Structure 1
């Protein structure tokens, strides 16, 4: 027996709501053959507690708009692993560290998955489903290229704000900066 069409629809709505709030590694696992208490798990990750809470709020709001309310919420106070129980669907929103540690996908690896593709994700060969693309604004220039930038002519500072390469940092002129 696979997840009911209603459970699949609810899981897909929850997954899209999570993805819309920038959840990472969004997945849906059909646990209906292994568990009698629910049909599907929606798994989503976030890099910090604040993002976990934003995802949880969005999932609840989006499903509430479709007439689905959680019967139980757990972990909201800590926002490290929040569980939203919608009876047929259980949503797990985890901090990335908890997601890696508990590895729910590994625990339920014998269960089929329900395909989910974020509708906001780029389509085609540019990006495969589940992968993120970075723009130039997303990259820290200090870590992207370890080569220091040369100062502009007549500029007395370097890109890093430290002394010039040929200056002695212990010299009295450098100490006055």
Structure 2
């Protein structure tokens, strides 16, 4: 069963918020067939800790405006790899160096990429439309 409409909507809201803070390489993966705990992984990166923190703040604020609060938050203080768990969507905001090292996209390469609106894809090498 593919990701729910709610999960897709929340992923789009989070991606737009991240993009507004100049997040790079924003990608959404439909992990619903592989995980029972969530439907979507949204992955974005920032060039430094300050930007990672700003992206996290923007995502939290945008989803809070939708009445959604994170069930769990990890790594926010260190701002190297922040994980925001909203149940239907898990947002990973990583420092660009950590993103390259951990390569979540490679780990979850068998999961379908979710098409994001153009204003929610971020900059610098953002995910291209894939089949």
What's the TM-score once normalised by structure 1's chain length? 0.67
2: distance between equivalents of 1:63 and 1:120?
Answer: 14
Higher relative contact order (CA 8 A, sep 6+): 2
Deviation at 1:77, TM superposition (A): 1.6
Aligned position for 2:113: 113
Aligned position for 2:67: 67
SS of the residue aligned with 2:8?
helix
Where do 1:37-52 residues align within 5 Å? 37-52=37-52
Which residues of structure 2 form unaligned runs of 5+? none
2: distance between equivalents of 1:49 and 1:75?
Answer: 11
- Greater strand content: 2
Aligned position for 1:6: 6
Larger radius of gyration between Structure 1 and Structure 2: 1
RMSD, aligned α-carbons: 1.6
User: Where does structure 1 differ by over 3 angstroms across 4 or more consecutive aligned residues?
Assistant: none
Which residues of structure 1 form unaligned runs of 5+? 122-128, 132-177
Residues 46 and 3 from structure 1, CA distance in 2 versus in 1: closer, same or farther, beyond 3 angstroms?
Answer: same
SS of the residue aligned with 1:82?
strand
2: distance between equivalents of 1:24 and 1:120?
Answer: 10
